[in-house]
Amino acid sequence: MSLKLGVLGIDHGHIFGMLAGMKAQGCTCDSYWTDGHAVTEDKFAQVFPELTKVADRRAILEDASIDMVLISAVPADRAALAIEAMEAGKDVMVDKPGCTTLDQLAAIKACQARTGRIWSVNFSERFQVPAAAKASELVAAGAIGRVIQVVTLAPHKQNLKTRPDWYFQRERYGGILTDIGSHQIDQFLHFTGSTEVEIASAHVENTTQPDYPGFQDFGDMTLRGDKGHGYMRLDWFTPDGLPTWGDGRLFLLGTEGTIECRKYTDIGQPHRTNNLYLVNGTENVHIDCQDVELTYFPRLVADVLDRSETACPQAHSFLTMEIAIKAQMKAEGQGDA
């Protein structure tokens, strides 16, 4: 049985991977809605010419044949759209960050509990990266023992000329730790297995863009979990010489070895993605992960059909966004976060 999808919001380019990943599982989709004209829209129409834009999102929400809604609207708008979709009986896959405030998160949790629908945040830096999938396999197999620290580096190119206005508005994108940081927190929780986390430190700043006071081009945080430690650095300083949008890296320190993933390139080498380096008591190897199977999309389809939680536990998505938002608040001196 295939699922029928609808799309609410295409403001972020992650919608391309979200929809393509689900269509590769046999899902169908014939309509989308977005608020106004998104910067992605011309390309979206070229990549997915079979989709028709509807003027009113109720055409999707009230279509009983649609099983799941994909949401990649402006971050601050995602929570309300997800709640509308769940109330309409749809499961939801939402781009990260799934929400931008604790009030939004509380409303999502209440709606999910009330409706029993799936609210899955697509943390693509883990779900859509074969090197990260291979790291998960190796850790599960005990290749480096128990993971005691996770370090992630998440540099990005600014590409200011291609960015819509909301990218520079703190209340619209949620802040750098809430936005990009949610990817990193997801990986920290996944690889350490932590379920209780203290935010030891959190920092954000705008170093280079005084004309955009709401923009944050650097952020970092240190986490202490009940099963491991974490350090995450986020920035918008990737130079133009890099052949991709950022040299994202994942470092796993285990009791019996280490793993490094150079996900998107390998500096000083011919451009290649999905590099994994493993060192333990018997191995010192580079693993090309290009052909490693990704599990998120097929498991999410199965979850919708079986009402299971194999792609990503619901509690994990909630906790990831809670920590991300609280870290952002701590960095900005808001409340007791």
User: What strands lie across the sheet with 147-155, from one edge to the other?
Assistant: 197-205, 218-225, 228-235, 147-155, 249-254, 257-262, 275-280, 284-288
Answer yes or no: do 151 and 118 share one domain: no
Predicted confidence (pLDDT) at residue 29 exceeds the cutoff of 70: yes
Answer yes or no: do 137 and 111 share one domain: no
- The verdict on residue 204 lying in a domain is yes
Answer yes or no: do 96 and 157 share one domain: no
- The verdict on residue 27 lying in a domain is yes
Q: How confident is the model at residue 268 (pLDDT cuts 50, 70, 90)?
A: confident
Q: How confident is the model at residue 162 (pLDDT cuts 50, 70, 90)?
A: confident
**Angle 197-200-205 from CA coordinates, rounded to 5°:** 120
Which CATH number goes with the domain that contains 131? 3.30.360.10
Answer yes or no: do 108 and 193 share one domain: no
Answer yes or no: do 274 and 133 share one domain: yes
Q: In 3-state terms, what secondary structure has residue 156?
A: coil
Q: What is the pLDDT of residues 222-261, one digit of tens each?
A: 999 999 999 999 999 999 999 999 999 999 999 999 999 9
Measured distance CA(265)–CA(263) in Å, rounded: 6
Q: How many CB atoms lie within 10 A of CB 214?
A: 15
Of the candidates 246, 251, 131, 133, the residue with the CA atom closest to the CA atom of residue 180? 246
Helices (H) and strands (E) in the chain, counts: 11, 14
- The verdict on residue 311 lying in a domain is no
Find the largest Cα–Cα distance for the chain: 60
Mean pLDDT of 55-72: 98
| Per-chain mean pLDDT for the chain | 96
Does residue 128 contact residue 289 with C-beta atoms inside 8 Å?
A: no
Q: Which pTM was predicted? A: 0.96
Of the candidates 169, 195, 191, 200, the residue with the CA atom closest to the CA atom of residue 319? 195
Answer yes or no: do 134 and 252 share one domain: yes
Return the amino acid letter for 189.
L
Answer yes or no: do 201 and 149 share one domain: yes
Q: How confident is the model at residue 1 (pLDDT cuts 50, 70, 90)?
A: confident
- The verdict on residue 309 lying in a domain is no
The answer to which of 104-118, 122-136, 157-171 has the lowest mean pLDDT is 157-171
- CA 317 centroid distance within chain: 10
- The verdict on residue 97 lying in a domain is yes
pLDDT of residue 337: 53
Residues 133-148: b if buried by 16+ CB within 10 A, e if exposed: bbbbebbeeebbeebe
Q: What single-letter DSSP state applies at residue 170?
A: H
- What phi and psi values does residue 267 have, to the nearest 5 degrees? -60, 135
Q: What is the pLDDT of residues 205-217, one digit of tens each?
A: 999 999 999 999 9
Mean pLDDT of 180-206: 98
Answer yes or no: do 140 and 252 share one domain: yes
Answer yes or no: do 138 and 94 share one domain: no
Measured distance CA(107)–CA(263) in Å, rounded: 34
pLDDT over 90 percentage in the chain: 94
Predicted confidence (pLDDT) at residue 306 exceeds the cutoff of 90: yes
- The verdict on residue 307 lying in a domain is no
Q: In 3-state terms, what secondary structure has residue 222?
A: strand
Q: What single-letter DSSP state applies at residue 51?
A: -
Domain that holds residue 176: 126-294
Q: How many domains does the chain have?
A: 2
Handedness of CA 183, 187, 189, 190 (dihedral sign): positive
Predicted confidence (pLDDT) at residue 336 exceeds the cutoff of 80: no
Which CATH number goes with the domain that contains 16? 3.40.50.720
Residue appearing with tokens 């509990």:
113
Ramachandran quadrant class, 238 (left: phi over 0; alpha: psi -120 to 50; beta: rest): beta
pLDDT of residue 160: 80
Mean pLDDT of 17-44: 97
Pair of tokens at residue 30: 């014939």
pLDDT over 70 percentage in the chain: 99
Q: What single-letter DSSP state applies at residue 165?
A: G
Answer yes or no: do 278 and 187 share one domain: yes
Answer yes or no: do 227 and 95 share one domain: no
